[in-house]
A and B are shown apart, each in its own frame.
Chain A
Amino acid sequence: MKTKGNTIIKQNNDLVINTVVILIIVLGAYLRLHQLDKESIRLDEAQSIWQASHSLEFIRNYMAQNVHLPLHNSLLHLWMRIFGASAMSVRVLSAIPGILSLPAIYLLSKEILANRKKAIMALTIASISPFWIWYSREIRMYTLLTLVSTLSYYFFLKIIKESTWRNVATYTLINLVGIYTHYFFSLVLLVQVVYFLILWRTGLEPRLKYYAKSVFKLFVASAIVLILAFLPWAYFQARNTMGGNLSPDLKSPSSFNIVLSLFEFTLGYQPENTTAAIIALWPLTVLIGFVFLKKRKDPLGPGIYLAFLGAFSPIVIVYVVSLLFQPMYLTRYLISSTPLYYILLAWLLMEMRGRVQYVVGGMFFAGIMLSLHNQVLSPDIPTKENYREAVEFVNNNSTNRDVVVVSPPYTLYPVYYYYNNPSKLISMPVWDRTQLNIPEINDERLKEDSTMIQQGHKRIFLIATLDLAGGYTVQNYLDLNYTRLEKHQFSKFVWVSVYQAEYPSINTQTASKE
């Protein structure tokens, strides 16, 4: 009877937990899919759509000169052939791995934290994470990277515990997708190598005391397959890199980038003032470290070391490499750290006790909810790029006697996406897109280009993105040299200015006076 009773209680518990998990995933799906096309297509998205609208061969050749890999755009290409290129359609391709990352992080959390309630906490954080939601609603490769990173860690741990060929094959297949999704996926593999060596050396994982060598051999076999699978691309890239360089012009990171990354992982994208004010509260995060101290059984399973390593070491590595060799630090590139970062946060919250847990947990979730709300509604989010309304304004107000100028030149991509206008569209500085490199901006060049653009036109409509290199310079040049008729802001950095291009000649003026 007792056994039967226990079984019923367990079944009920399972039912409750599974229901909660499903509800949280449904909530996450809703937050990712609701009004998916509400925001304008952003620059990066437009570039992906433009690249994916070409042939697979073009994509392969183009990506060979890019900092990214061809898999995502190739998938997008196929997707667009079936579902079209509307904002809703293309973004669903990101939302799907974004939603699938939720059950994946639940599985990984269960593996790491060995506790379903703690795993639900990690799932909840991920489900409402403004950062994850942002990228689930943007057609880029970042949610795919998140999904494969999460699954890669999951099957990595599965192999350590249970080295079946099925696990190894799945792990290898996932990693194969990962290495063709983003170069920074290699950091996930690096973390796994380091963690495996730590486990082997310290004996933290009891099973490895006896099976370390055989598990190691399986990982080596998987690595060989991955290397062989990546070699064709490496060879192709080495052979086909053309004269152009499409890598973004990144600056060397400062310590602020590290702090900002952790902030954005936690609270997503916020207006600059809000970000600065919240980061300024940092002494209170030190306090969390102290209030965490409580008598308890050892809360550190081996998985916590993996979570710590996976959450922070990629940030440190990329930061150091950026300082010493080549700037490559962008928060979104490090999204593969977020699954383990969220698991670490869940562990921290669940290991707190009593009132401290309620206070810290309450403040944490209130902070996330408010941030998500703000991320969705605030027009001051720096990463929001409202090209749609900017271009709609131009579409509605310009005529074929006007010229539409875009600056910097590569913002032509999002403008083209929405452009539906007889007016001539040109970039400033003028950019021949068959020549991959964008010309440098200087006064001489601007004078030459603006004179050429002005000719035969009544007004100049300038769509400028001020936080991108050249946008502010061009707007400032036109402000100083032309009569500005109108100026409109559509998002934090996207502005449309209208200038008078046609001026009456001196003779005409004299005649009219007479």
Chain B
Amino acid sequence: MSSTPTSSGSVSPQKILVLALIVLGLIAPFGIYPIFLMKGLCFALFAAAFNLLLGYVGLLSFGHAMFFGFSAYVTAHGAKEWGLTPELAVLAGVATAVVLGAFTGWLAIRRSGIYFAMVTLAFSQMMYFVAVQAPFTHGEDGIQGVPRGHLFGLIDLNSTLNMYYFVFALFVGALLIIHRIIHSPFGQVLKAIRDNEPRAISLGYEVERYKLLAFTLSAGLAGLAGSVKALVFQLASLADVHWHASGEVVLMTLLGGVGTVFGPTVGAFLVVAIQNYFSEVGSWVTIIQGVIFVFCVLLFRSGMVGVLTPWLKRRGIRG
């Protein structure tokens, strides 16, 4: 948000933070269980894609699971039945999400607020029905035993570390894309629409086209997250198309902080960590999760990052 341009040579604190985080991401698999990290990254990407829509266009989608889950199916099917290489399988998944996003978005963006959320929920429920009915998804058993294959025919993704760096690279790349979108003139228009739609219209912007493009981009990125998840876990299942998954991504984003760059990532890791590390306390998980949501809504409404950033900034100014 700093408006002062940084002259070349001097490094802004933000850049240091980003670099530190990238280094952290690179060494993390040596300290933390890589599968957990990959799951966190997939959901973080999913949440970041969702946040692009909620945080920067002000549209709350309650149906993003259809992009996440359906891309996972397409990637899994492509890799397993058609023998696609991982990069092609992921591309196929993303393409599916983009097409699906363009179509549902074209219908959904005519509405706003809660009605927009409900239209997306409706489409997502229909896609869930398709996922239950279509033979290629194998019902609730899902597509299992998906081969990870060799990236570009060279790098063996069956090695956990290779897979991790592939996921991490995609994640960083996707976040960079999101960053570029937000700070581009296009992103400025999106924010203008979010803050005051009638004004944006009166300024001559074709608001619908901007919204549709943002929706499709968000759907595509959510699809990327789903596709990668299918490769990481070597399976695609109904749980990822269910409306609970749509709800989960809303929670992750809000926990971390809506409209912040790192918020969704923090929120996603938090939720995945709760599910993972509390799975041994069994049935208490959902209660703990519920209590955390209630507390967050009552106490830190701007999310973890939303609360921390001003605090860090204040310290930064003093320092």
Does A associate with B in a complex?
Answer: no
Residues of B within 8 A of A (CB): none
